[in-house]
Amino acid sequence: MQVAQLLKEYLPDNDLAARWGGEEFLILLLSVSSSVEVAQRAEELRTCLATYNHPNVGQVTASLGIASTTGGETPETLIARADAALYRAKQQGRNRVCGAEVSPTQLI
């Protein structure tokens, strides 16, 4: 619940955050316009969560998978790419941000 509250305070009103399941959240950054901005905001959010002293549990870390939409991509594909990036972040040691890979067909 504390993470959800921090997300609510951190994100601008036009961005959206929702619990996706378990300890996962889906965040839509509608207020940014580039992949670079998405990466910067994700890193800021990761740092914010890691430096906050959560009541009863202390410090928590966050692994984030990020993806920017490509032309003609479905929401399901976008979420799947972000999810794959999230698992890559966890596999690389947790408490980090990893970007989604884009296949050559997505660039067309």
What's the distance, CA 21 to chain centroid?
14
| 69 C-beta neighbours (distance < 10 Å), count | 13
Higher pLDDT pick, 21 / 95 = 95
pLDDT at 102 over 80: no
Instruction: Quote the pLDDT of residue 105.
Output: 52
Instruction: Quote the pLDDT of residue 103.
Output: 59
Instruction: Quote the pLDDT of residue 89.
Output: 94
Distance CA 38, CA 40 (A): 5
Distance CA 7, CA 44 (A): 11
Higher pLDDT pick, 65 / 3 = 65
Residue whose pair of structure tokens reads 């996962």 in the numeric block: 24
pTM given for the model: 0.84
Q: What percent of the chain has pLDDT over 70?
A: 94
Nearest in space to 62 (alpha carbons), one of 54, 72, 70, 74: 54
Concerning whether 101 is annotated as a catalytic residue, the answer is no
**Catalytic entry in 23, 37, 43, 73:** 23
Instruction: Quote the pLDDT of residue 35.
Output: 87
Mean pLDDT along residues 79-103: 91
Instruction: Quote the pLDDT of residue 108.
Output: 44
Higher pLDDT pick, 107 / 71 = 71
